[in-house]
Chains A and B, each alone.
Chain A
Amino acid sequence: MAFVSSGYNPAKPMENRITDIGPRKYDEFYPPVIKKNKGKWLYHEILQPGVLVHVAESGDEVYTVRVGGIRLMSVTLIREVCDIADKHCDGHLRFTTRNNIEFMVDSKDKVQPLIDDLESRKFKGGSFKFPVGGTGAGVTNIVHTQGWIHCHTPATDASGPVKATMDVLFDDFKNMRLPAHVRVSLACCLNMCGAVHCSDIAILGYHRKPPLMDHEYLDKMCEIPLAIASCPTAALKPGKVELADGTSVKSILVNEPRCMFCGNCYTMCPSMPLADTEGDGIVIMAGGKVSNRISAPKFSKVVVAFFPNEVPRWPQTTNCIKNMIEVYAADARKYERLGEWAERIGWERFFEKCELDFTHHLIDDFRDPAYYTWRQTTQFKF
């Protein structure tokens, strides 16, 4: 397509420039029933999986239908979402903090037609466009990241494994049979964009090889002290390197036995790439939560040291997650989050019940705090 100007003048970039206007104010987009009853809600109920009702002091009701969102979506799909909102909800809708979509209506008789419409819509390949669910004690959407779609530091993909995992867990998106809700998150490298460090189950991209050094360009492209300071284990030091043609350049030397493949140095220095087809894969973590309900928030812990990247369906990863959820569902008490359950029965029982291998990789060895994760008591089960 030929160039079409928006009116921006590259010769005078600061002319007519609008800046620091911030986001649109949220209340511009409230449905009328939300605007009217804001701050005056009495109670809510989950009528069925994916459907909530909130009742206000005035007696007004708002029915919310939550549907799975794929997060990465085309404008075409957003337009379809808008069409649905125009048809059933006077043009209003919202997205949740887990990237689900919520359609709100102000009377009960509008709910079933909305659900029927949403559930009838499918992609050509057969998958639901707007599956209703994600409420209560089930599995809701997977908070995830960019993967091989857009980022330069991933050790695995995001959209692919998320689709594979949600397909396996789909029944629990549409049901509320678990002891408590199970939050699954994914991050494609251990920058951990998102929520992997605080989720019931977390999928994390992991490298197993040290960076490859591009000595010829390193000093030109990188601020060497930054790369050295980026290493959590001090595996890097400055040094001179002789190139094949005999010239001596400033560069970085890697002490490989100290490197644990975090990739931080590559984040700071483009001349230290470390992604590797066979080396890269997935770590599974479990037992995190952010709410204060009963127990304090928890970090998730590493429970599987490595699964390979099995494109496009990641079967070992999805089987492991499915199995963990089944064992948790059968064994945990009502309201018990996965981490609370594992801590109550003891992590040795967790590994036994979930039939997970306990390998030396799972034992913390990072600085002084590692010591506090070892067992300084005789209290354990055989």
Chain B
Amino acid sequence: MPTVEYGGKTFTVDEDGFIDSFDNWNEEWVQLVKEAEGIDELTDEHWKTVQVLQDYYKKNGIAPMVRILSKVTGFKLKHIYELFPSGPGKGACKMAGLPKPTGCV
């Protein structure tokens, strides 16, 4: 798998730019994804979304359903797209270091 460097750290990623392992996530990764995903500025709302995704993943071993993400963060889907233009899967989950979404996507 290819590697990318950012802020003095090296990350192993797949062809879609998802990190190889949740354990290798750190704050530099967030900055890296911010640029790749076309996000101008990281706000508290971005961090809150990342936090919710990570807590849920650690506790349940899966990413939350979109309805749960909305309910826990209080952000409607439309607002999640305003924060993460690629959406909750390709944008927010990637930034949070979760595994790449699977299935008929």
With A12-B38, A267-B104, A270-B102 already in contact, the answer to whether A226 and B62 are too (CB < 8 A) is: yes
B28-56 CB contacts (< 8 Å) to partner A: 38
A305 within 8 A of B: no
Partner of B38, one of A13, A220, A221, A269: A13
Contact between A269 and B102, CB atoms less than 8 A apart: yes
Chain A residues positioned under 8 Å from B102 (CB to CB): 222-223, 226, 267-270
A55 to B10, CA, bound (A): 70
Contact between A221 and B85, CB atoms less than 8 A apart: no
A231 within 8 A of B: no
Contact between A225 and B60, CB atoms less than 8 A apart: yes
Contact between B38 and A223, CB atoms less than 8 A apart: no
Contact between B103 and A225, CB atoms less than 8 A apart: no
Question: Within the complex, what minimum Cβ distance (angstroms) separates B91 from chain A?
Answer: 11
A267's nearest neighbour on chain B, judged by CB, is: B103
A191 within 8 A of B: yes
With A13-B38, A14-B38, A191-B104 already in contact, the answer to whether A220 and B60 are too (CB < 8 A) is: no
B100 within 8 A of A: yes
Contact between A225 and B38, CB atoms less than 8 A apart: no
Contact between A13 and B85, CB atoms less than 8 A apart: yes
A270's nearest neighbour on chain B, judged by CB, is: B102
Question: Within the complex, what minimum Cβ distance (angstroms) separates B98 from chain A?
Answer: 8
A269-309 CB contacts (< 8 Å) to partner B: 269-270
Partner of B20, one of A14, A220, A226, A267: A220
Contact between B103 and A268, CB atoms less than 8 A apart: yes
Question: Within the complex, what minimum Cβ distance (angstroms) separates A76 from chain B?
Answer: 29
Q: Which residues of A contact B (CB under 8 A)?
A: 10-14, 191, 220-226, 267-270
Listed from nearest, the 10 A-B pairs whose CB atoms lie closest are A13-B38, A223-B62, A220-B21, A225-B61, A268-B102, A225-B62, A224-B61, A221-B99, A226-B62, A267-B103
Q: Could you list some 25 contacts between A and B, CB below 8 A?
A: A10-B38, A12-B38, A13-B38, A13-B85, A14-B38, A14-B85, A191-B104, A220-B21, A220-B22, A220-B23, A220-B99, A221-B99, A222-B99, A222-B102, A223-B57, A223-B61, A223-B62, A223-B63, A223-B99, A224-B61, A225-B61, A225-B62, A226-B102, A267-B103, A269-B102
